[in-house]
Amino acid sequence: MMAETFRGLVERHVPVVIPGLLRDRPRLWREWQRTSYLVDRMGGRDVVVALTPDGRADDLVPLPSAAQDSPPSSSSSSSVGKEGQPGERPGGAARVFALPYDVTVPFDRLIDQLARQQQQQQQRCEDAEAGAGCVAYLQSQNSNLDTAGPLSGDLAPLFEDLCAHDDGSIRADIDWATEAMGQHPEATNIWIGTGRSTTSMHRDHYENLFTVVRGTKTFTVFPPNEGRFLCDDEEFDVYRYRPTTSSQTSNGLPTELELHRDRETPRTRWIPIDPTQPKTSLRNRRYVHRHLDAPSHCQDDTAASNDKSPAPDPALQRYGYALPPLTIRVEAGDTLYLPSGWYHHVAQQEDQGTPGGEAGPDLCLCLNWWYEISDDMALRLAEMDDGTADLDAAPYEQ
C-alpha cells in the first residue's frame, strides 16, 4: 500500500481489512507460529499479565454481595444500588467497572496458564487443574512491545523479531502508515491470549492498525456518530480484582480472585451495551424502549404493569434506535484499519493446531500500532459527538 492510499482511507474514515500486510517479516509467519519458539526466544523474561475470573477485563460486572469494602457510591446524576438507577442491571444487582489483577510472571508461566485455561474450556468441567480458574491475557496496551519496564515487562526479543524484514532492513513500524500520518506510531503493542478473553465496547482516539498473526479476532463496530445511542451517560464505581485470602498459588498465579473497591480511581463512564447479545438480553434491555423490544401482545398497560423489572430511565432508552453493528472477522495474516473514534467490541479465537503438531497451547497473537490523530480529525470526532457532523453513510451500508 502507498502512503497516499492510506491517507485516503483515513480521510474516508471507515474500517478496511488489508490482507498480507506484514508478509515481509518472516519470523512472524514462520517462527511465531510455534509456541515453543516464543518460549525459547523469550528466555524466561518477565511479562505483565492481566488476570480475571472470566476473561472480562475493563468491563462492567455485577457486584457480588460479598465484594470487599463499601458498596458502590451514589450521586444525584448516576447512583447505583437503588432500584431502577443507572448502575443497576435488571434484577437488582449493581454493576461496577472491573479492572484486572496485573501480575508479573516469566513468559513461560503465561504460556502454561494459557494451556490450562484452554484445557478447561475444552473439557467444560469444574474440577480442572488448579490455577485454571483465572483467565490470563497479555494486554498491557502501553507500547509493551518496544518499551521495557515494570508496567509491561521485557518483550525485547519479540520486538527484534518484528523489526526483521526479509530484505535485511530493520524497522518496527509500517512505513507507508508512518509516512501518511507524518509521525511514528505512539504505541506498538502485542496481545497474547485465548478465546476466553473478550474486550468490551469502547473507542480509542487513535488511528489503529491491528494485525492478527495467529488465531482470529471478531470486531463488532459502530461508527462515531452512533455514540449517542450507546448510552455511555452513566458513571460506575471502579473495582479491581485481587487474590482472595484463601487463594492458592499455582505456577506463580493465584487461583481465585475477588473484587475490591479502588478508591484511588474516580468513577468512570462506560458503555453498558454488549452488541453481541440481543437487544432484549438482560444486559441490554433496560437501554431499549419497551415499544421496540416487547412483543406486540405486551404493548398494553396491563402487561406493562406486570413487568417486575426496575423501571428504566427514559433518558437511557436509546440503544433500540442504533444502527445494526458491523461485524468484521480478521483472520491470521490480515490487518484491520480501525479508524479513530469507532466503537468496538472484540472477541477472539485461538488458532487450531501448531505446525508439526508440537505440544503447547493454541494462541491468539496479535500486534497493533496506534497513530495519534490529527487536529482536524479530532475536531471531526467532536462534531460527530455533538451531532453537528456525520460520516458518509454509503461505505457503512455496503
Lowest mean pLDDT among 179-193, 214-228, 274-288, 296-310: 296-310
Above pLDDT 90, what percent of the chain? 60
DSSP annotation of 295: -
Residue 254: partners with Cβ closer than 8 Å, 6 or more residues away? 51, 101, 103, 134, 243, 244, 247, 248
In whole angstroms, give the CA distance from residue 372 to residue 175.
Answer: 15
pLDDT mean over 1-9: 92
Say if residues 259 and 240 touch (Cβ distance below 8 Å): yes
* Angle in degrees, 0-180, between the axes of helices 107-123 and 35-42, rounded to the nearest 10: 150
pLDDT tens figures, 33-60: 999 999 999 998 999 999 999 999 999 9
Predicted local distance difference test score (pLDDT) of residue 356: 57
| Between residues 183 and 129, the one the model is more confident about | 183
Q: Is 374 left (phi over 0), alpha (psi -120 to 50) or beta?
A: beta
Predicted local distance difference test score (pLDDT) of residue 177: 96
In whole angstroms, give the CA distance from residue 323 to residue 391.
Answer: 13
Buried b (16+ CB within 10 A) or exposed e, 348-369: bebbeebeeeeebbbbbbbbbb
Say if residues 319 and 230 touch (Cβ distance below 8 Å): yes
Q: Which band of pLDDT confidence, cut at 50, 70 and 90, is reported for residue 131?
A: very low
DSSP annotation of 392: -
At residue 361, does pLDDT exceed 60?
Answer: yes
Buried b (16+ CB within 10 A) or exposed e, 315-341: ebbbbbebeebbebebebbbbbbbbbb
At residue 302, does pLDDT exceed 70?
Answer: no
| Domains by residue range for the chain, with CATH | 3-74+92-275+325-397 (2.60.120.10)
In whole angstroms, give the CA distance from residue 183 to residue 304.
Answer: 56
Residues in the chain: 398
Q: Which band of pLDDT confidence, cut at 50, 70 and 90, is reported for residue 388?
A: low
pLDDT tens figures, 234-286: 899 999 999 998 777 767 788 899 999 999 999 999 999 999 999 889 899 88
pLDDT tens figures, 145-167: 988 777 777 999 999 999 999 99
Predicted local distance difference test score (pLDDT) of residue 313: 63
Angle at 23 between CA 19 and CA 24, to 5 degrees: 140
Angle at 132 between CA 155 and CA 252, to 5 degrees: 50
Q: 97, 17, 14: which is closest to 329 by C-alpha? A: 17
